[in-house]
A and B are shown apart, each in its own frame.
Chain A
Amino acid sequence: MGSRFRRARRRARPPIGRNATVVSVQLALGAAILTGIFASAPRAEHMDMGSAGGLPAKIGYCKDCHGPAAQGYGGFFPIPRLAGQQTEYLENQLRAFIEHRRTNNVMFNVAHTLSPATIAALAAHFRGLNPSPIGGAPKQLVSMGRKIFEDGVPDANVAACAACHGPDASGSGQIPRLAGQLYPYVIKELVNWGKERGQNPAKPDTSAIMSPVAHSLTRTQIDAVAAFVSYLK
């Protein structure tokens, strides 16, 4: 595993030619948006530990769906893994539900009752968990998925996933960890990217970076990448 990722890192830095410019411009745009978002986020707040609105109750509430170790769960709809996720990504997504940047009725209902301090504490809690991936993805797709993850699809202008998500798919800041993420969840997100993310024109966000990538991947390529990342620890 280690040597493969070292190879991927060498290839990924600097990323490939023309795509690299596009990606870095998009990243710079994302970083500028990020700065704006964080400048306005209030932090200091009294943390209630006992009631239904308190942190332990809310952690239990999250785990009712996302699994006891936040490893994710295959319900009627795939419920994503939160364990080990980047805190900035989790916080940004919870705010995205509230601000209708990301459309999901259930998660809007969940997120709008959370205070900024609770959101930060939940993100920190889930970041610290590290259960094994659920697995279950078709194994025969993994090698094709690895190639796309490490090299991208140059002919389709798709940059290597590793360039932004990291050679071990652990993510960074607002860029999510993909390692161990549920196979059907990653497929659902990539297939529906343009209908689910970046939905508030008044509040553009970093999800715009993924739009062309999600759009350019074929369904077979999406399945393959999803299978590959789902087994990473």
Chain B
Amino acid sequence: MKCAGLRMAIVAGICSAIATASAHAESLAVRNCTWCHGASAQGYTPAPSLAGQRYQYLRNQLADFHARTRDNPFSKQYMWGAAENLSARTARDLASYFSTLPRSAANDGDRELTGIGRTIYQEGKPEANIVACVVCHGPNAEGVGQIPRLGGLAYTYLKRRLEQWAEGYHAAAGPPMPDIAGKLSPDQIEALASYLSFIP
């Protein structure tokens, strides 16, 4: 009797240890991300917000970090290592988890530039062959599928990303962003990044 009770206690102990380990492993993967991306994944300079980002976009980015084709300096420095041993299953789970988190806008651009940014985003600049961002990224910069949500991302992240497209980083992502970003002036990039940072 005593012996059976002890045995049960040991089995129960082992079971709970296994359960804790697997729950821990899951939160560990998330915690590896939030260490840089912020406790609720709202972004922390220079790591962008992941909360509410498009699922397919997140999956594609993790795949590109893994394949080392997203080669922007910070990607190379931080994300290549982070994605190195990520299983396809964990990448899916992380993309799913972060895409469903509630988001809040960074609101850190220059308020005075939002009007200019809005015009470029919604209407483009036909004389300079700059297309209207709205056509692909949506009226509220919400993105769709593999096209990222831009609304509410941090000013510095948006600005650097637009600059880096034109500098040739992440060229493997293909058209059209390198060509489009290459036509934007520094002032236009600042205006766009400001406008987008305030979109909830």
Contacts and interface: CB of A to CB of B under 8 A. Distances in A.
Nearest to A112: B126
A63 B128 CA distance: 14
A79 B135 contact: yes
Interface in B151-191: 175-176, 179-180
Interface in A87-143: 105-106, 109-110, 112-113
A65 interface: yes
Contacts of B180: 64
A113 B126 contact: yes
A73 interface: yes
B129 A61 contact: yes
Given A64-B179, A65-B176, A52 B128 contact: yes
A215 interface: no
A55 to B, nearest CB: 12
A58 interface: yes
Nearest to B180: A64
25 contacts: A52-B127, A60-B129, A64-B129, A64-B131, A64-B175, A64-B180, A65-B135, A65-B136, A73-B136, A76-B137, A76-B138, A76-B142, A76-B143, A76-B144, A76-B147, A77-B135, A79-B136, A106-B123, A106-B124, A109-B123, A109-B124, A109-B132, A110-B124, A110-B126, A113-B126
Q: How large is the interface on A (under 10, 10 to 19, 20 to 34, 35 or more residues)?
A: 20 to 34
Contacts of B134: 76, 106
B123 A68 contact: no
A69 to B, nearest CB: 10
B145 interface: yes
Contact of B123 (A64, A65, A105): A105
A94 B131 CA distance: 16
B39 to A, nearest CB: 30
Contacts of A212: none
Interface in B105-154: 123-124, 126-129, 131-132, 134-139, 142-145, 147
Contacts of A73: 136
A209 B127 CA distance: 34
